[in-house]
Amino acid sequence: MTEEKNNAKKYCGSKKGAMLAYGVIQLSTSVISAISLAAIALSFCSVKQESKVFNNCVEEIRGSGKSASAAVRFCNGGD
């Protein structure tokens, strides 16, 4: 019985390093995923802000009497 416990401890001890490495790798990939998702969320905020500026530009140009297509072309950098 004592030999079985010793063998079990040796067997688990040899796997301990591999399980620790697996846990560290799993944790680090989760952290990287969280950082990536945060970066994507922040980029969506800037896209939202750019769309507000674009819509305001189109409304301002349309207010001066130009058509919608001319306003969009102007706000996109056209003549």
pLDDT at 47: 85
Domain enclosing residue 10, as ranges: 2-75
Indicate the pTM of the whole model: 0.51
Q: Where are the beta strands (DSSP E) in 1-79?
A: none
For residue 57, pLDDT over 60 is answered with: yes
Are the C-beta atoms of 61 and 70 separated by less than 8 Å? yes
79 band by pLDDT with thresholds 50, 70 and 90:
low
Between the CA of residue 41 and those of 14, 31, 50, 71, what are the distances in Å?
42, 15, 15, 30
How many structural domains compose the chain? Answer: 1
25 band by pLDDT with thresholds 50, 70 and 90:
very high
